Chain A
């Protein structure tokens, strides 16, 4: 039984990794500008200093536009999906099947901070110009951290994290942040409204190396950190008391998980806006196939999440070229019906989640 499940895990790991490789290659090859496959290859090998060909005409498009965007899609997709798994553990913790990282205020805090920058900063002239491009992501990142810490602080009762208070505080803070965002939306002019609308539907269009150097280490560290809690998450899924009996220090685990989740989601939202459904669909989908063991669920979710976001972005930037669709629309259009179909299929077999 054990050996068999290990085999299925390996099988799914190989399939998902292959999928990611294929989608990455397609994403590098396909775009608004047509580039021959051998040019793609030589640009990449040049970049890695394996070869020293004459740089092709489109080397800069590949290396400065497509490659950073592909990498951004991979790390953001991985973060969203793997976090949804820890979110799924939080669902157990919160005793609420709809709990997700957004519930503790991470996304709404990020959104509020981003909107503040979009609407109010043009009227503040004292900010150094060179910082301007990084202002929205930086603000979103700080906003998500602040709100998460605030919600966490509010839920402390006698030095313990009271889960039901955390849930309610999260809902209240989300509502307040939403009202703040609404107020600023009301104050925004036509141009700012357009930026706001499109930002909230997500885009990977801003990908560049400078942002990646800032974001990738944070997200990757957070993901590895969460992976170390896979066994603890399994125990928590059994129930808080059971996890305590198994010898886990629940307080410190909760606190660390919340910070790690805030770091990764906050950074993702900062760079790409709010992208829906990847986080919900991938873990539930994988759980249907490989069961609830987080040691398997976390890495597979990361790889599959990255593939799906990459594929969505490929569609987003080519379907209506030269225009671009917001990626949040694509992920939901692909993810929503697929998820429903799975749900209906497995409902008949009587085994959902």
Chain B
């Protein structure tokens, strides 16, 4: 008993010594430079766009673009952050969105006096502009942020002009997130996919529910989408485009009849990042291939 107590207190002394040492080293670091931890892929992307990546010391698992971001120290998934993991990077600021959590961890971090910037998520161009504005302010590159916003708004306006000129009636477009669980999981209201479809000149007919839900495959016949968007992973999971075209129920839709099934590289395309205009253009082109071709 006595021995274990001794051992324990010895370890404690040793540990506290190490901790003291490391915290003093980090304290010196924070004086010299800003150390940012980003807990959202879109925010990480903005930091790179603004050329402030040298200040980035940690990212979450959704930060997969640009590729270089994946090589930074990981703080885990944005909804399952751990306070100690983040603090071990001795950040001077944490950038996160409303999706960051769990709330208890955010509270813990706040109680350590770590400055935390929580940015709201809106699936609109203005929503992306807000993210850019907030991040550029945090990293002290506000003019670069303004330029980035102006560029984005110009591109979105150009897309809008194209849509107004070419689209008289928006095509019914659905986004199938996956088929792995049996029934197709389709984007409803309040999803990035829903917003992206509407921004890109289509219209999402799945308005009777929110989020991504499995849907009854025969109801696709009633809804009769003109365009179906799937991710590359879903397409490969189903065994390729030929197999998708054979799915009963889907075969009876206009989308299958006109072979209007578009493949999206990745879910992150729907991330409402600075690449919004590019993503929206890609989707616009897959919804209206002929109009897009004629314009070029």
Contact = CB atoms under 8 A, between A and B. Distances in A.
B157 interface: no
A317 B216 CA distance: 6
A61 B209 contact: no
Interface in A170-215: 189-192, 194-195, 198-199, 203-206, 208
B42 to A, nearest CB: 14
Given A60-B252, A130-B243, A133-B238, A194 B221 contact: no
B209 A323 contact: yes
A320 B188 CA distance: 13
A32 interface: yes
A194 B177 contact: yes
B239 to A, nearest CB: 5
Interface stretch (B103-111, B161-169, B179-187): B179-187
A71 interface: no
A199 to B, nearest CB: 5
B178 A194 contact: yes
B281 to A, nearest CB: 23
Interface string B242-255: 01000011011000
A318 B216 CA distance: 8
A203 B215 CA distance: 11
B206 A133 contact: no
Interface in B181-220: 181-183, 185, 188, 206, 208-209, 212-220
A191 B233 contact: yes
B179 to A, nearest CB: 8
B219 A198 contact: no
B185 A65 contact: no
Given A65-B248, A129-B240, A324-B215, A33 B181 contact: no
B33 interface: no
A121 to B, nearest CB: 8
A132 B233 CA distance: 11
B29 to A, nearest CB: 31
B222 A194 contact: no
A199 B236 CA distance: 19
A279 interface: no
A66 B181 contact: no
A323 B206 CA distance: 9
Contact of B219 (A136, A190, A321): A321
B233 A321 contact: no
Nearest to B79: A190
Given A130-B239, A203-B214, A191 B178 contact: yes
A58 B219 CA distance: 12
A109 interface: no
Nearest to B252: A60
B181 A199 contact: yes
Contact of B248 (A64, A273, A326): A64
A324 B183 contact: yes
A297 B248 CA distance: 37
Nearest to A121: B237
A22 to B, nearest CB: 21
A contacts with B: majority SS: helix
A334 B90 CA distance: 53
A154 B211 CA distance: 45
A217 B185 CA distance: 30
Given A33-B222, A191-B178, A323 B236 contact: no
A208 to B, nearest CB: 7
Interface in A300-328: 317-318, 320-324, 326
Given A118-B180, A194-B177, A321 B249 contact: no
A337 interface: no
B177 A132 contact: no
Interface in B102-123: none
A194 B239 contact: no
Nearest to A322: B219
A122 interface: yes
A92 interface: no
B15 interface: no
Instruction: Report, nearest first, the 3 A-B pairs whose CB atoms are least far apart.
Output: A205-B183, A64-B248, A322-B219
26 contacts: A31-B216, A61-B218, A61-B221, A61-B252, A65-B217, A65-B248, A118-B180, A122-B237, A129-B240, A130-B243, A132-B237, A132-B239, A133-B238, A133-B239, A194-B177, A194-B178, A199-B181, A204-B182, A205-B182, A206-B179, A273-B182, A318-B216, A321-B219, A323-B213, A324-B183, A324-B213
Interface of B: 61, 177-183, 185, 188, 206, 208-209, 212-223, 231, 233, 236-240, 243, 248-249, 251-252, 267
Given A195-B181, A205-B181, 19 more contacts: A32-B222, A33-B218, A61-B221, A61-B252, A64-B248, A122-B236, A130-B239, A133-B239, A133-B243, A190-B267, A194-B181, A195-B185, A199-B182, A205-B183, A208-B248, A272-B182, A320-B209, A322-B208, A323-B209
